Amino acid sequence: MLEIRLIGQPRLLRDGLTLPGPRGAKCWALLARIVRSQDPISRQQLVNELFSEADDPMAALRWSLAELRRRLGMPEALRGNPITADLAPGTVIDVAQVVSGALPDPVPRGALLEGIEVQASPSFDTWLLVERQRVAGEVIGALRKEVLRAMSAHDHARAVMLASAMVDTAPLEEGPHVLLVKAFVAAGDRISAHRHVAATEAAFLRELGVEPGPALSAAARPPVTPSTAGVSSAATAESLLTAGRAAVGAGAAGSGIATLRGAVAAAEGSGDGRLDATCLFELGSALVHAACGYDDEGAIVLDAAREAATTAGEQEIAAKALAELAYVDVLAARRECAVEGLALAWDVAAPYPRVRAAVAAYDAVHLSDWGRLDASLERFDEAIDLCRETGSVKRGIWAMAHAARAAYLSGWLAAAERWAKEAQRQAQSERWTAIRPWPEAWHAHVRLAKGESPAAVRTDIESSYALARQLEDPCWEGVTAKVMGLTYVAEGDVDAAMPWLEHAGTACRRINDSYKWLEAEVQVTDAEIALAHGDRDRARSRAEVALQIAARGDMPLLLQRAEVVLDQLRGAVPQLV
Same domain flag for 66 and 165: no
Continuous segment of H or E residues that includes residue 424: helix 413-430
pLDDT digit string (tens) for 446-463? 999 999 999 999 999 999
Q: Is residue 107 part of a domain?
A: yes
- Hey, which bits of 65-139 come out as E strands? 92-93
Strand partners, 5: 11
Same domain flag for 15 and 47: yes
> With contact defined as beta carbons under 8 Å apart, do 331 and 295 qualify?
yes
pLDDT digit string (tens) for 546-564? 999 999 999 999 999 999 9
Same domain flag for 25 and 93: yes
pLDDT for res 229: 61
Q: How far from each other are the two terminal CA atoms of the chain, in whole angstroms?
A: 55
Same domain flag for 6 and 89: yes
Q: Is residue 55 part of a domain?
A: yes
Q: Is residue 69 part of a domain?
A: yes
Angstrom distance (rounded) from CA 357 to CA 397: 12
Q: pLDDT band for position 227 (50/70/90)?
A: low
Angstrom distance (rounded) from CA 26 to CA 118: 6
Same domain flag for 108 and 23: yes
pLDDT digit string (tens) for 28-41? 999 999 999 989 99
- Helices and strands: H and E segment counts in the chain: 26, 4
**Is pLDDT at 575 greater than 50 in this prediction?**
no
Angstrom distance (rounded) from CA 132 to CA 32: 11
Q: Is residue 83 part of a domain?
A: yes
Same domain flag for 95 and 13: yes
Same domain flag for 62 and 103: yes
Decide: helix, strand or coil at residue 68: helix
pLDDT for res 493: 97
Q: Is residue 113 part of a domain?
A: yes
Q: How far is CA 37 from the centre of its chain?
A: 23
Distances from the Cα of 107 to the Cαs of 5, 118, 161, 273, 386, in angstroms?
11, 26, 9, 35, 42
Q: Which of 219, 245, 264 is the last residue of a domain?
A: 219
Same domain flag for 108 and 19: yes
Q: At what angle do helices 353-369 and 315-331 cross, to 10 degrees?
A: 10
Same domain flag for 110 and 145: no
pLDDT digit string (tens) for 25-73? 999 999 999 999 989 999 999 999 999 989 999 999 999 999 999 999 9
**Segments forming the whole domain that contains residue 191:** 138-219
Q: Is residue 345 part of a domain?
A: no
pLDDT digit string (tens) for 74-103? 999 999 999 999 999 999 999 999 988 788
Continuous segment of H or E residues that includes residue 12: strand 11-14
Report the CATH number at residue 9.
Answer: 1.10.10.10
pLDDT digit string (tens) for 241-285? 999 999 998 888 899 999 999 999 999 888 999 999 999 999 999
Kindly tell me the burial class for residue 273, based on how many C-beta atoms sit within 10 Å of its own C-beta (0-12, 13-18, 19 or more): middle
C-alpha dihedral, 268 to 269 to 271 to 276, nearest 10°: -20
Q: Total structural domains in the chain?
A: 2
> With contact defined as beta carbons under 8 Å apart, do 500 and 466 qualify?
no
Report the CATH number at residue 190.
Answer: 1.25.40.10
pLDDT for res 577: 40
pLDDT digit string (tens) for 333-356? 999 999 999 999 999 999 999 999
**Mean of pLDDT values over 464-490:** 96
The predicted model scores a pTM of 0.91
Query: Average model confidence (pLDDT) for the chain?
Result: 94
Q: Which of 52, 86, 120 is the last residue of a domain?
A: 120
Q: Is residue 482 part of a domain?
A: no
Q: Is residue 210 part of a domain?
A: yes
Angstrom distance (rounded) from CA 465 to CA 149: 40
pLDDT for res 572: 54
Q: At what angle do helices 353-369 and 516-532 cross, to 10 degrees?
A: 30
Same domain flag for 155 and 192: yes
Same domain flag for 77 and 158: no
Same domain flag for 94 and 179: no
Q: Which of 184, 219, 254 is the last residue of a domain?
A: 219
